[in-house]
Structure 1
Amino acid sequence: MKDCNGRDALDCLLSPRSIAIVGVSSDFNKLNGRVMKFLLEKGYNGKIFPVNPKYEEVGGHRCFAAIGDIGEAPELAVISVPAKVVPEQLEAAGKAGVRAVIVFSSGFGEMGEEGLEKERQVVEIARRHGMRLCGPNTLGVINAFEGAFATFTQYGMGSTNPGPVGFVTQSGAFGTAIAALARKRGLGLGYFANTGNETDVTFADCLGRIVEDPRITTLAGYIEGITDGPGFVSVARRAMELGKPLVVTKVGRTASGARAASSHTGALAGEDAVFDGIARQHGVIRARNEEHMLDIVDMSTTTACPAGRGVGIVTQSGGAGVLMSDRAEEVGLNVPQLSEETVARLRDILPAFGAAGNPVDVTAQFIADPSMLKESVKAVLDDPNVHVAAVWLQLMDGFVDTLTRTFRELKEETDKPFVVSWVAAPEEGLRALRELGICALRGAEPTIDAIAALVDWEEARQARLADTAAPSDPPALPAPGPGFVPTEKSVSLLHDAGVPVARVGLATTCEQAIEHAERIGWPVALKIESPDILHKTEIGGVEIGLKDAESLRAAYERITGRAAKAAPQARIDGVIVQEMGSGTVEMVIGLRRDPGFGPVVMVGMGGILIEVQKDVVFNRAPVTEAEASRMLDKLKGKVMLDGVRGAPPVDRAALCRMISAVSRFGAASADWLEELDLNPVLAGPDGVIAVDCLLISEN
């Protein structure tokens, strides 16, 4: 939404040309005095309008009794008043033509039903006036490039030099802590935004605008829950297009509560599992915690992405080299054997007691001859199998100038990236390397982890850019009716969507079942059909490999008898006669409608132990066949697809086509689908086929 000057409301929030401070205090030590204090101290050059009937002026600026008295429409209004008077101040701001508002006040949705009612009231006012609302219960936003500090966060009290990082957080206090840690590392935040209760402006809204700023090269975020999944995906895609890494820490890795689910897909589709898969799908770097996040951010702002997974390790400690090598292999990096030429070159550089393999141990001898370190790193980087070098040091308080000069020369004389792991480093050393644009992290494993994150991101980005066959949303499918969708109907819908599913027929008598078997072709499987018995095997409601009418008659009696005994109140629609499939590997493919992201597709290793092994991957639907292949690559059991113990490899292309077809079906049925479970899907060298399906419709 834009005003008459063409300014979007989100631009007015994140880059305001004028700010009204409603409820301002002349005491800059108070929370409602900090916005004025920061704007004056940080050099904001836009218009400032203090609003409070108690004062004639604040901070050398005329103070207005009400926002409507200003005589022009401020682009942004910061409302710092008690919750009970927020609605009337919002109403006044809307009538004054304000484009965006920040509400600091707490006492809304976080306080229960009464607070939720207040929250609904302020949202209605903002929407009625076409204002974008950040908050309530927020610390506000900072645009450090322009000195626009519309916040009361303690982070604003120190040095806040702008830098290439845009940071958005759903937590005020923890977000402030992360910002303070970033400052301590010398990382400049160009933007800081806290979205508070996210009644209107979301995490994705803020990042979506920040990513477009050419001064920002890296995005970072702290997430507690996704309120706008499609928006988050859109931001991730845009960041990847622009080559800007997006690093997030999301809490809630464990199950937040039991979810009623009818299928394996539903049972496994926890919020975190879904987020994790979608994050990988769209190149989002997921950090374990705030320190890990800042390690990756630090490296991404200083270091070019390596062109491959080969890491050359140069240390002054053999033990540190082993530690880094172990960690590199754990996170999927390679520690390649150096070429004979590289080893020979290193032997000419190192003392006789140094190690010329990979890792390279230059020993403490390099202190006497600093060129030894530089030439060793150059030799390692020149090796064709090495894409990035990691240099490990400790202490060296008396050699900061020497090391600074060495690393400056090294940067000038090499093309491939290198990073420094400097344990117990002197502060002046870290500052000197940052000024040179060289990443120096605090330890061996953090350094390797950050390298792996950048390598993974670059590979994901290249794969995304190469995947030109982006799927379009298919036309919507009509809802089949609420609850359990009969097997015949489910199979028909899936066949129409291009999903290979074994042929079926519904029989209400034994003779009718035999007729279906003759039509389908022996052998067949027999399954009880009931909307009240979704897990048929648990009550003995499935028999397979029936080769003739006699075996089918016996199986029919056993199955119906078991169902009557195990579930006497169940509605029995008959039995399903199903074509027998074949394959060498059991897979599972499923769909689930996620409350944040919409339809998601799951693929994993199937069978009866699926919920124990949990070897599954989620992506947002629809996916291309190339994306489906990348999903398979993330499975721990992916080696099974290549054939083990003499078994032939499965038709991977056919499996990818099937995953993509299922995902398109999920997108087409997004308005009504609750869950789909295809388990098992039999994959073999001659193709793939689903031999059991469970489809649940919400309406």
Structure 2
Amino acid sequence: MSTAEPDTQALAALFEPESIAVVGASEDATRMGGGLILRFLDLHGYGGTIYPVNPKYEAVNGLKCFPSLADIPDPIDLAVLSVPATVVRRTVEALEPGHVKCFLIITSGFGELGEEGKRIESELMDLIRDKGGRAVGPNSVGSINLWNGVVPSITQLLDRKDVEPGNVALASQSGAVGAAILTEAERQGIGTGHFVSSGNEADLEFSDYAGYLISDDRVGIIGGYIESIRKGAGFIDVSRAALQAGKPLIVLKVGKSDAGAVAARSHTGALVGSDEVAQAVFDATGVVRAADGDQFIDYMKVFNKTPASRGKRIALVSHSGGAGVLAADAATDAGLDVAPLPEELRAKVAEILPDYAGFNNPLDATGPMVFRPDILAQCLRLLLEGDHYDAAVLSVKLIWRNGLELVEELTRLRADVGKPFAVSWVAPHENAMEAIRKAPFPVFSDPARAARNVAARLVYDERRRVLLADPKPARDVGPGVAGDAPLDQVEAQKAALAAYGVRLPREIIAATIQEAETFRAELDSPVAVKIASPDIIHRTEIGGVVTDVRGEDALAVACDMVNTNARRHHPDARIEGLLVQEMVRGGLEVLVGVKRDPVFGPMIVFGPGGTLVELIADVHMLPAPVSEAAARRVLEESVLGPMFRGFRGSGPLDVEALAKTIARVSWLAVDRPEIAELDLNPVLVLGDGEGCLAVDYKFTVEP
């Protein structure tokens, strides 16, 4: 299923059900299970029909109790299964097709237990699909929609009736971590309206939930705790949809280390792809990644309580010089512009501050201002109201007597000024704590932390503008242009590259030395001689390449050398002949390649090439297909950017031709899924208007 078009019927049955059946119902709300779920549904005022299911009881909490799910005469939107794993299958088997739209499986003991558990889980999913339903879980702690009291969950936060919804939606592959995030977010005044514990994701998975929630007007931010991404293409689709909708997608993606990846696999029973590839996808689609749980909460807070920004110029205000320095260092490190205070603003703030204030950026309002929160707020207002700054951080300490007044002043400012700002507030008085929690602006306990989080907001907004300006990838070569000849021969590989517009040097695959000499003589220039074999990937390492060959005798020696070396190192390799290629001089060497990731599919790789590959670690990846505009943008942002533009007397290089080559290679990767890897290295980028050539290429082809 494409997450661009999620299964809205099943997901609506999960988040907006008109009827809920609780299998495993009881009146015992002291243990995790059906009794607790029934209590929470009642406590939070669910207004739909509830069907308790348990053969032990005739009634539960005053509601008629049915012996089995199949005994309920009416169609059911959502069936919550909180019974032993063996009972889950029997419960589903007894149903007529179409009886239940969505199953929420709290029960554990499936795919997370190993191969046998995966087999049982897979059979259960097949059965559910045969019955016309979809499934959440297994191994889920439930779902929550606080907007309408749909809370079929065992999450303990629901034991409080006063939990208020907000514009954050959270999906978590760990029930415990998700519940902890949900609880801490509520403690810090971040309203979460929707939550789903996706469990093992045997059917519905993260991109399904996120894709559905993007279309909900009550949702402004989507958060995700992710251990493994099951459907890479679906994740890319939903990330781009969130970016388009202006709803930040914030993820806590774990499994970066080998130990973490192993733990993630054992937890969810799913493949964990390369973290570098995942990060490249996040960068390309505007996903905000948190490093840990604290940062995840911070990001949800700053995106929840600030509007979008228009630039990266930040104003810093404090009544402590030291706090201002901490904020300035953090803002600068994050790439923000801590621009000096313009003379116009200096004059305005000088009218309300003491003569000995520091009229710079950071603006040091001086210590006595702890007793004048109105003046601190006025300083912030003056800096934000004009066109000089895009955001601000106010750092305050030890404001005890006037804490509530400061919150009120800043609340008015938040309503009047459509720019993001955060407050660093160290040691607030207890009488202001609840007001701070409910404030419509984010409050942090440290100046640097406040600056870093405002920076995250500003960097995201700028990145969103850049990514949305990129046109969608468009073909200028047809999907069948290279035919369907197997790519397990050098001649076919060469033909495929040429068909997709990848320019190669003049070359032939010669069967004899005589053919090679005829070609060399026609060129009347030095050549390179390489062994032509689809089975020998690293030709240079075995002496399978000789460059700068001049004259007939040198050519004969070179041909004999590469042939002998190839036969000695790879006696069973298929040898198609000798690749004789004109030597091309000049230009900048770059790498263009394809890496097919098991989760995200083909990724386009580019960076410094030739001998620079191992010296300059600046490799970039983009999910295929890639537009020329996106390729050009990333090339210009890379460490090679100055060289493309012209560096120290050298002229500009043909970055347009390189971007076009990258885009065309990306379509080749999309059209030919048997390409596991492809290296064009080096690609020589010539002067502006002269194009680029792939001097060497290596295919790794899988059936």
Query: What TM-score do you get using the length of structure 1 for normalisation?
Result: 0.92
Opposite residue 31 of structure 2, the aligned amino acid is: K
Opposite residue 24 of structure 1, the aligned amino acid is: A
Give the superposition deviation at 1:416. Answer: 3.0
Where does residue 313 of structure 1 map in the other structure?
316
Give the superposition deviation at 1:684. Answer: 3.3
Where does residue 39 of structure 1 map in the other structure?
41
Question: 2:108 is paired with a residue of what secondary structure?
Answer: coil
CA contact (8 A) 2:624 2:667 kept: yes
- Separation in 2 of the partners of 1:556 and 1:52? 81
- Separation in 2 of the partners of 1:521 and 1:252? 56
Where does residue 25 of structure 1 map in the other structure?
26
- How many residues align? The count is 683
| Cα shift readout 1:153-190 (whole Å, capped 9, x = no counterpart) | 22322343211001001111111111111111111111
CA contact (8 A) 1:593 1:600 kept: yes
- Separation in 1 of the partners of 2:221 and 2:301? 9
Give the superposition deviation at 1:519. Answer: 4.4
Please give the residue correspondences for 1:300-699 in structure 2 after superposition, counting only pairs within 5 Å. 300-382=303-385, 384-426=387-429, 428-429=431-432, 431-433=434-436, 435-471=438-474, 475=479, 479-481=484-486, 485-520=488-523, 522-608=525-611, 610=613, 613-670=616-673, 672-685=674-687, 686-699=690-703
- Separation in 1 of the partners of 2:498 and 2:433? 61
Where does residue 189 of structure 1 map in the other structure?
192
Give the superposition deviation at 1:480. Answer: 3.8
Question: 1:149 is paired with a residue of what secondary structure?
Answer: coil
Where does residue 13 of structure 2 map in the other structure?
12
Opposite residue 83 of structure 2, the aligned amino acid is: V
- Separation in 1 of the partners of 2:225 and 2:586? 44
Give the superposition deviation at 1:123. Answer: 0.9
- Residues 630 and 65 (structure 1), Cα distance of their counterparts in 2 relative to 1, 3 Å cut: same
- Residues 511 and 418 (structure 1), Cα distance of their counterparts in 2 relative to 1, 3 Å cut: same
- Separation in 1 of the partners of 2:217 and 2:398? 37
Give the superposition deviation at 1:24. Answer: 1.2
Structure 1 unaligned spans of 5+: 260-268
| Cα shift readout 1:596-654 (whole Å, capped 9, x = no counterpart) | 22222112222345356542122111111121123325534434433333333322222
- Separation in 1 of the partners of 2:582 and 2:112? 54
- Separation in 2 of the partners of 1:256 and 1:379? 51
- Separation in 2 of the partners of 1:695 and 1:115? 38
Question: 1:148 is paired with a residue of what secondary structure?
Answer: coil
Out of 128, 131, 135, which is 1:133 matched to? Answer: 135
- Separation in 2 of the partners of 1:57 and 1:474? 65
Where does residue 264 of structure 1 map in the other structure?
none
CA contact (8 A) 2:168 2:220 kept: yes
- Separation in 2 of the partners of 1:98 and 1:179? 29
Opposite residue 12 of structure 1, the aligned amino acid is: A
CA contact (8 A) 1:583 1:688 kept: no
Where does residue 60 of structure 1 map in the other structure?
62
| Cα shift readout 1:458-506 (whole Å, capped 9, x = no counterpart) | 2233234333444369535655437xx3333222211111222333311
CA contact (8 A) 2:254 2:260 kept: no
- Separation in 1 of the partners of 2:111 and 2:61? 34
Give the superposition deviation at 1:587. Answer: 1.5
- Separation in 2 of the partners of 1:427 and 1:130? 54
**Identity in percent:** 37
- Separation in 1 of the partners of 2:344 and 2:130? 72
Opposite residue 284 of structure 1, the aligned amino acid is: V
Where does residue 266 of structure 1 map in the other structure?
none
- Separation in 1 of the partners of 2:217 and 2:114? 41
Question: 1:299 is paired with a residue of what secondary structure?
Answer: helix
- Residues 364 and 569 (structure 1), Cα distance of their counterparts in 2 relative to 1, 3 Å cut: same
- Separation in 2 of the partners of 1:257 and 1:442? 30
Where does residue 153 of structure 1 map in the other structure?
155
Query: What TM-score do you get using the length of structure 2 for normalisation?
Result: 0.91
- Separation in 2 of the partners of 1:335 and 1:372? 22
Please give the residue correspondences for 1:158-237 in structure 2 after superposition, counting only pairs within 5 Å. 158=160, 159-237=162-240
- Separation in 2 of the partners of 1:426 and 1:615? 48
Where does residue 124 of structure 1 map in the other structure?
126
Give the superposition deviation at 1:547. Answer: 3.6
